Structure 1
Amino acid sequence: MKLRSNCPLNIFLDLVGDKWSLLIIRDIFMGANTYSQFLKSPEKIASNLLVDRLKKLQSYGILNVIADKQDSKIKHYYLTEKGIDLYPILAEMMNWTQKHIKVDFHTLSEEMLSEIKQLEPPKHSENYRKKYRVKLEKLLTENQ
């Protein structure tokens, strides 16, 4: 990967700072893990952008993929440890938005915000990481 600068924030933004990458990561945290589920996201990502971002996130080691045991045409995307570590960042971005922008949030965001508020930081982050790892183990076990 060619870096524009050695600034940590710039590197982060180059890796996952585009709108669609962050929304795909959000969707995975909330339980989506297939191409068709990502297409149903409220933001309506175009299929060509979805394919591009899934490949990009895989190439950076943020996502991985496994074929469905029952139907090899279906692929399940999941977060690597590097991807799971993005949870507190997304949580804080959502908290900031809820604090400063007064709108009705869609169900997916409300669900994640509700989970975030159940525990105070940094506990919510570690709790969610554990919860996601349990989901991930189940997915991998079912498709081995």
Structure 2
Amino acid sequence: MIKVANKRSSCPISTSLEIIGDSWTLILIRNFFLGSITFADFKKAPENIATNILSDRLKKLMKYNLIKYRLNPKNKKIKQYYLTDAGINLYPLIYDLLIWGRNNLDMNIGLVASDFYKRNKNKKREDIIKNSINSYKEFKNSFLVN
């Protein structure tokens, strides 16, 4: 469980949004599921997050135990970030936002999202979420072992 000291509201939605509700945090969580692990990986995302904001959000995610990091065994100057179980548990929210956007926003869909929709066209929500989470956990475990 994530420890919070929220004096503003006793509503779980309000408190959750204080942690993950800014315009960058869920994009970073999404990028973990797309294979990002280093600061440089996150900087390469098409949304072009500023370095100071990226640094701030990574610190915030660590503060709330949504991510952790280890030092790259080959280069101790490079941090390799990964999601904790609490961070992984945000995937259903990421998935639902992706589907909501497809169904409700009049916009050009990017290649990554478009490929995701095609790959999962006739699959059930629960299966997609389960498979995505399991794939991330396998990736995380293999990179933490090395």
> Share of identical aligned residues, percent?
32
Cross-structure match for 1:139:
143
The aligned length equals: 142
- CA separation of 1:59 and 1:89: change in aligned 2, threshold 3 A: same
- CA separation of 1:111 and 1:26: change in aligned 2, threshold 3 A: farther
Q: 1:108-140 CA distances to partner (integer Å, 9 max, x unpaired)?
A: 333444455463121211111111110000110
Q: 1:52-80 CA distances to partner (integer Å, 9 max, x unpaired)?
A: 00000011010010111111111111110
Q: Is the counterpart of residue 130 in structure 1 residue 138 in structure 2? A: no
Query: What is the RMSD of the two structures over their aligned residues, measured on CA atoms?
Result: 1.5
Cross-structure match for 1:39:
43
Return the TM-score normalized by structure 1. Answer: 0.91
Cross-structure match for 2:101:
97
Q: Is the counterpart of residue 9 in structure 1 residue 6 in structure 2? A: no
> Partners of 1:115 and 1:141 in 2: how far apart?
29
Unaligned runs of 5+ in 1: none
> Partners of 1:48 and 1:114 in 2: how far apart?
35
Cross-structure match for 1:75:
79
Q: 1:26-58 CA distances to partner (integer Å, 9 max, x unpaired)?
A: 111111111011111111111000000000001
> Which residue identity does 1:97 align to in structure 2?
G
> Which residue identity does 2:68 align to in structure 1?
N
Verify the 8 A CA contact 1:94 1:113 in the aligned structure 2: no
> Partners of 2:80 and 2:17 in 1: how far apart?
25
Cross-structure match for 1:65:
69
Work out which of the residue numbers 23, 33, 36 in structure 2 matches 1:29: 33
Return the TM-score normalized by structure 2. Answer: 0.90
> Which residue identity does 1:34 align to in structure 2?
T
> Partners of 2:124 and 2:87 in 1: how far apart?
21
Q: Is the counterpart of residue 49 in structure 1 residue 53 in structure 2? A: yes
> Partners of 1:136 and 1:69 in 2: how far apart?
15
Unaligned runs of 5+ in 2: none
3-state SS of paired residue (1:19): coil
3-state SS of paired residue (1:109): helix
- CA separation of 1:115 and 1:90: change in aligned 2, threshold 3 A: farther
